[in-house]
Structure 1
Amino acid sequence: MAKLSIVVPCYNEQETIPLFYPAVEKVVRQMPVETEYWFVNDGSSDQTLAELRKLHDQNPERVHYVSFSRNFGKEAGLYAGLEATTGDYVVVMDADLQDPPEYLPEMYQEISSGEYDCVGMRRTDRKGEAKFKSFLSNQFYNVINKISDTKIVPGARDYRMMTRQMVDAVLSLKEYNRFSKGIFNWVGFKTKYLPYKNVERVAGTTDWSTWKLFKYAIDGITDFSEAPLSIATWIGGLSAFIAVIGIIVVVIRHFMAPAGSAFGWASLVCIMLFIGGVQLFCLGIVGRYIGKIYIQTKKRPIYIVKEKK
């Protein structure tokens, strides 16, 4: 019998864990698989770890958890969960039940046929989500798919079932700054996406604010595209070209109208501020990439485990 590993990154999910486990169990017990759970407590400040300990005590053979020494982020939690799994197939799910468990049998049927290496879920709408957040999300997919060779399916979730071969390929990428949506596509393998309508959280509140999602999107762009560096180069080149044109205009005006050649200090200050702003903007882009290189060269661990059972 095939073994299915279920990875669940958790951060302040004390309210959802008692609802998540029975909901998933109801589905997987009807599937022809042996199952194991790997919950990852990402430095939660509530009673998430206590809830995981209860689950483990009730089912020590099937329910396991990894608890970090502090909050390392969802990407680290996902990586730690994948690293701990032993199943032939691995599925990643959120504890808030926004990833409907009822799709697990269909996902397993598709992947066990041998035709696909990965079966993912793709949201077809964003009902219940703030319109501004939905707008930013849609724009992110538009931008990254235009500037990156690694294409990301709009609406695709981390909720996906993968073969052991694909999981091992994902784990072989040891980069510290991780963007799993891009990594899942970068490693290749044949993937099928199943559409579904958006589902709201069963309890609690999301920790993903608009600002955090924006920063996450910037990480995704800089991890999988060099386009921002090209933009900085083109902006610098354009500024230099405009400066040369300006010099030519000033020289011509000086000889044609010497008396009126002065432009005034206000215009000069504006030009200096504009050029300075462009330079700082370009330096910021370059600095973003250099910062990632700096962190990577430190070779710090992606996460630190405090407790594991």
Structure 2
Amino acid sequence: MDKISLVVPCYNEQEALPYFYEAACKIVSEMSEQAFEFIFVDDGSKDNTLEIVKKISVEDKRVKYISFSRNFGKESAMYAGLQNATGDYVAIMDADMQDPPSLLPEMYTYVTSEKYDSVATRRVTRDGEPPIRSFFARLFYKVINKMSKTDIVDGARDFRLMNRKMVDAVISMEEYNRFSKGIFGWVGFNTKWLPYVNVERVAGETKWSFWKLFLYSLEGIVAFTTAPLAISSILGFTFCLLAFTFMIIIIIRTMLFGDPVGGWPSLISVMLFIGGIQLFCTGILGQYLSKAYLETKKRPLYVIKEDNFS
């Protein structure tokens, strides 16, 4: 009998958890030929998420939980769940019901009958999202796929079912600055993409503000491409060439026509523009240096406050 582990990162999901657990149990009961375990990872929630999970774990021995000492982020929560999952197959799911449990039987069929290593989901619509957020999300996928050799699919969710080989490969990547959508693509393996229509949260509010998503997108770009460093080098070379060209023009003009005093506005504009480019390129370099700095510290990705694995 195959065992399937359901890894569910949770941060302030007290309202959505009962709905998720009920829906997941319904699908689990239909998949009676497989054994299941639930691994809820409480990412330092400030509401009653942990208390609800504890109550469920008393009534259902298949339910395990890990509670962090503070909020370490969804990436750390997913990694902790993967590390502690014992199933032959492991699925990562959100507790807000935007990852429909009803897709699990189809996903399991693909990884067993058609010999895929993983089945990943992608949204074909973004209904319910603010238009500006959808625009920048699509722009991010276009930019990172132009820059990076790692294939990151537009609309990809973290919701996927993986076999043990792929799970072990993902766990082996112990980097501190994690971007799982890129990691899943980088490790390779044969992946089946399962499209579905976007589903809105069943309860509660999203924890991803525009600013958090922006920082997360920067994390992905820095983690999986060095193209911004090449761009800054090209910009530096281009402006050096332009500066040399203008210097020759000024020398020739001075020799032929003298040295008029005019030109202060254009001079200041050029200086400010070049100064901005320099700061921009320095910022790009700083992003890569900061990530390298954090990696060298070798800090753990998370700290467990309590769990029920022992």
1:150 maps to what in 2?
150
2:123 maps to what in 1?
123
Is 1:34 equivalent to 2:29 in the alignment?
no
1:269 maps to what in 2?
268
1:51 maps to what in 2?
52
The CA distance in 2 between the partners of 1:216 and 1:76, in whole Å, is 13
The CA distance in 1 between the partners of 2:305 and 2:186, in whole Å, is 31
1:299 maps to what in 2?
298
The CA distance in 2 between the partners of 1:121 and 1:215, in whole Å, is 23
| 1:161 Cα deviation after fit | 0.2
| 1:259 Cα deviation after fit | 4.8
The CA distance in 2 between the partners of 1:109 and 1:180, in whole Å, is 24
1:162 maps to what in 2?
162
The CA distance in 2 between the partners of 1:49 and 1:81, in whole Å, is 15
The CA distance in 2 between the partners of 1:53 and 1:301, in whole Å, is 25
The CA distance in 2 between the partners of 1:206 and 1:14, in whole Å, is 13
1:1-309 aligned at under 5 Å gives the runs: 1-31=1-31, 32-59=33-60, 61-113=61-113, 115-260=115-260, 262-309=261-308
Normalising by structure 2, what TM-score?
A: 0.97
| 1:30 Cα deviation after fit | 1.1
**How many pairs are equivalent?**
307
The CA distance in 2 between the partners of 1:224 and 1:110, in whole Å, is 28
The CA distance in 2 between the partners of 1:271 and 1:137, in whole Å, is 33
SS at the partner of 2:39? Answer: strand
5+ residue gaps, structure 1, are none
SS at the partner of 2:126? Answer: coil
The CA distance in 1 between the partners of 2:147 and 2:267, in whole Å, is 36
The CA distance in 2 between the partners of 1:9 and 1:234, in whole Å, is 41
The CA distance in 1 between the partners of 2:299 and 2:69, in whole Å, is 14
| 1:272 Cα deviation after fit | 2.1
SS at the partner of 1:37? Answer: strand
The one-character-per-residue Cα deviations of 1:169-201 (angstroms, maximum 9, x if unpaired) are 000001000000000010000000111100000
The CA distance in 2 between the partners of 1:307 and 1:259, in whole Å, is 76
| 1:264 Cα deviation after fit | 3.7
How many percent of aligned residue pairs carry the same amino acid?
A: 56
Output the amino acid matched with 2:22: P
RMSD: 1.0
Output the amino acid matched with 1:162: M
The CA distance in 2 between the partners of 1:259 and 1:167, in whole Å, is 70
SS at the partner of 2:30? Answer: coil
Normalising by structure 1, what TM-score?
A: 0.97
